Structures are given as structure tokens and as C-alpha cells.
Structure 1
């Protein structure tokens, strides 16, 4: 478990984008989407750029077992909704720090209320 957590955090630190694989249910085919991902002192977090309309987000809520992929490396994770206001502020800051300077136009929507509401914490599966 600890190795998986460390492995996931390492991938987050090293990568601007990762692919997330989601499934509507255990028998459905995998759906892969490229997303941004951030780490804070408390964990690893993702958000849906399309807010609650995002397919991968809807699938992660229906079936929280997801796979995070960076190149040939894969980490199985469980996506859990995050609602804590302190954590949300930390995740906002992590998005600003990691992406804001290089991609300000794309980062701004990631800090909007409807997108913030889709914050999911990734935990080792």
C-alpha cells in the first residue's frame, strides 16, 4: 500500500498530465482520458475540467476503481469525493502552482466552483 502511494505521488510530481482509465461498472470497457493531477501534503487529487458533465468523472463516481497511467506505468486507485474546505484550498493552490504560470487560461476554470465540486482524492486500491 505504501509503495503504491509513493509511486502515485512520484508520478504526479514528475508529470504534467496523466491518463485516467474509468469504467461505468466492472464489466464495461475502460474509457481513457488525459487529465491534470496534483499532490498536496494530504494526498493526490483530480478534478473534471467539464465539471459534473465529464464522462470520466461520472464513471469514477459510479465505479471508484480507476487506473492512473503515466507512459507505461500504471497505478490502481480508488477515487473518493473530497469536500473539506481546507483541503479544497490546498488543492486550488496546488493547481495554481503546478499549472497556472504555463497555462493560465486553462487553469482558471479548474478553480471555478462547478469544477472544484468535482474534486476527487485518489487512494491506493
Structure 2
């Protein structure tokens, strides 16, 4: 398992938004702007619309993609097996980073927990 370069992780975690592009057989899909959070040195993302998100379905099925923030672009894998004991910490990270946005409630709680991925550098 790869670990994050600390500078890369800091840059991704500090970005207000990142672009995720899931990998398909024919290449990367169109980038979609999402939120990300860092908890205990790991990066997590959640799908705002759950299984309706094409990028999320592809990320779960194929397990690979690319994350971009500014001029930084990183090939990654997506791990859907997030330890449920981290759910509250990930929720807290979303609150800390994105409150008072009215979108935060959709990004925390049981529905969000069902549509989260740990992002791992390749």
C-alpha cells in the first residue's frame, strides 16, 4: 500500500475543492469537482448524490482514477472499505473544513457514510 507524500497530502487536503476523474478502459472520465478531507494522514471523499454519481460508480467498480487540485494531479486508487469507526471523525473533518456551507448536511451522516472512499496514491 502506498502512502502519501506529506507535501502532496497537505496540498490536496488544503484545497477547497478537488477534481476527481475515474479511470475507465478508454482513459479517464470527465473531472468532477468534489470536496475532500484528511483524517489521520488519509484522504477521504464522498459522493454528494451517492450511487447516482457516475464517477462514484466507476471509482467503486474500477478502483482507480486521478485527483487534481490546482496544478497538482495524482493517480490514485479508491478503497471503499473505510473503517466505520472513522465515520464520526470524517464527519467532523467535513464540518471543520466546510461549515457553514448548506451542503455539509448532505456530506455527513449515514447516507454519506455509505458513499465514501479512501483515496490512496499509486
The two structures have a TM-score, normalised by structure 1, of 0.86
CA RMSD for the aligned pairs? 1.7
Bigger shift: residues 109-118 or 88-97: 109-118
The structure with the largest helix share of the pair is 1
Please, which runs of 5 or more residues in structure 2 have no aligned partner?
none
Aligned pairs, number: 121
- Scaled by the length of structure 2, what TM-score is found? 0.88
2:120 to 116, 120, 123: 123
SS in 1 for 2:31: strand
Regions of 4+ moved over 6 Å: none
User: For 2:112 and 2:80, how far apart are their aligned partners in 1?
Assistant: 12
The question of 1:17 aligning with 2:17 is answered yes
Cα gap change, 1:8 to 1:53, in 2 (>3 Å): farther
Give the drift of 1:42: 4.5
Distance 2:7 2:26 in 1: 27
- Provide, for residues 59-107 of structure 1, a one-character-per-residue CA deviation record: whole Å limited to 9, x for no partner: 1012111111012210111110134222111111100110023x1x100
